[in-house]
Amino acid sequence: MKLTTKCDVEAESAFVFRELADFDGWERAAMRRGAEVVRINAMSDGGPNGGAGVVPGVTWETRFRYDDKAWAVTVRLDRIAPDTALALTGTSRLADARIEIDVMELSGLRTRLLVRLDIKPKTVAARIYVQSLRLVRSRVERSFAQRVAQLGAEIESQQRAARSAGL
């Protein structure tokens, strides 16, 4: 199942990308929500690639509960193009997912996020579940777009806070 949405954010593209590539922040946010997150390899090569020297191949083992079920997902950073793109792959025993995020500067203070998600089921049960999602595709797409818009609003808020703090 493939989902695509875009969201315009009132923030500088470099700031938007830094927020998206703040993997330490994402780890903390997941742990605050009850997930176990373990980075299983080094994140930095010491150079200025992307957020803070982040290199492709960084991998996290995550465990969390969703819908009263325990999930274990391995997340790997596949691609990072400084200030323009991120691609991550998530692998579980039931499905593989790939998310690609493109950051495009529209003007000095306006940025467009283009987010693509592709879910590929591995088991019959997962295929049936994904098929059921296709039956309510418009609701799934709307929910996906709302979550990306919420992320954009959070980034806008952080940009305003940074500006008011003089950063």
The answer to whether the beta carbons of residues 113 and 102 sit under 8 Å apart is: yes
R_g over Cα of the chain? 17
User: CA 83, 97, 150 angle in degrees (round to 5)?
Assistant: 55
User: CA 119, 121, 126 angle in degrees (round to 5)?
Assistant: 120
Coil, helix or strand at residue 2: strand
Residue 49: pLDDT band with limits 50, 70, 90? very low
Looking at residues 4-9, what average pLDDT do you find? 96
Q: What is the pLDDT of residues 117-136, one digit of tens each?
A: 999 999 999 999 999 998 99
Show contacts of 83-88: CB within 8 Å, 24+ apart. 83/13, 83/14, 83/17, 84/17, 86/20, 86/21, 86/50
Q: What is the mean pLDDT of the chain?
A: 89
The reported pLDDT for the residue numbered 43 is 64
Q: What is the pLDDT of residues 89-120, one digit of tens each?
A: 999 999 999 999 999 999 888 999 999 999 99
| CATH code assigned to 2-164 | 3.30.530.20
| Strand partners of residue 36 | 63
The reported pLDDT for the residue numbered 167 is 61
Count of positions (residues) in the chain: 167
User: CA 31, 33, 34 angle in degrees (round to 5)?
Assistant: 65
